[in-house]
């Protein structure tokens, strides 16, 4: 079995994330794509939407994608979880012959700072979701995704056209209530 892993805060899930998932399903030779919402990203100090709510939005938004599983491993840990821990957990669960790890182009410059990076890069093949003008080194597989929005922007001002229709109203209500 070949899998791709796509982790993130998904705070909130938006059409950029959906496009990454669609491109991965179309362009990577995989049996499953595992989406892993973080409890709290190890590089961040807080989240806006609580982990269980973000997981609920993901389950609703990704329901139509039959090859997509959502792993609540990191949320169940109730602490920041390093990607290497998640990969080791997923290896035990799925016994994959190949693991692609999907990251945003903005993560390339800090990959070396990831916990146990040397071990991680031996376990996975990085796939870069390209957006904006960040140049991606040729050693990486690339998913071309050009949705001009970030979760950071959407937390400040939720814009319906960038959110999955099925959960857009709930996401907007949540973030507007936060401010």
Section 5-15 average pLDDT = 96
Query: CA 126 to CA 123: how far, in whole Å?
Result: 10
Strands (E) located in 56-163: 68-70, 98-104, 125-130, 141-144
pLDDT at residue 132 tops 80: no
Residue 139 tokens, joined = 């050693």
Q: DSSP letter at 82?
A: -
What residue ranges do the domains of the chain occupy? 2-178
The model's pLDDT over 136-159, given as tens digits with 9 standing for 90+, comes to 999 999 999 977 788 888 998 889
List the beta bridge partners of residue 144. 130
Higher-confidence residue of 130 and 85: namely 85
Section 107-131 average pLDDT = 94
Over the chain, what is the mean pLDDT?
94
pLDDT at 133: 79
pLDDT at residue 17 tops 80: yes
pLDDT at residue 51 tops 70: yes
The model's pLDDT over 68-81, given as tens digits with 9 standing for 90+, comes to 999 999 999 999 99
- Contact between 54 and 11 under an 8 Å Cβ cutoff? The reply is yes
Section 85-99 average pLDDT = 98
* pLDDT level of residue 28 (50, 70, 90 thresholds): very high
CATH code for the domain defined by 2-178: 3.40.50.620
């Amino acid at each position: 079995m070949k899998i791709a892993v796509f982790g993130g805060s998904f705070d909130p899930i938006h059409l950029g994330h959906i496009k990454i998932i669609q491109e991965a399903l179309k362009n990577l030779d995989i049996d499953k794509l595992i989406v892993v919402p973080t409890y709290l990203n190890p590089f961040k100090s807080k989240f806006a939407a609580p982990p269980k709510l973000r997981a609920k939005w993901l389950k609703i938004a990704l329901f139509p994608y039959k090859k997509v599983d959502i792993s609540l491993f990191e949320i169940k840990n109730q602490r920041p979880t390093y990607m290497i821990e998640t990969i080791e957990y997923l290896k035990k669960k799925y016994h994959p012959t190949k693991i692609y790890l999907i990251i945003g182009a903005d993560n390339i410059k800090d990959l070396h700072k990831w916990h146990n990076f040397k071990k991680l890069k031996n376990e996975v093949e990085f796939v870069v979701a390209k957006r904006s003008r960040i140049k991606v080194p040729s050693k990486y597989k690339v998913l071309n995704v050009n949705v001009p929005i970030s979760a950071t922007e959407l937390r400040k001002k939720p814009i319906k056209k960038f959110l999955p229709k099925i959960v857009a109203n709930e996401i907007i209500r949540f973030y507007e209530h936060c401010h």
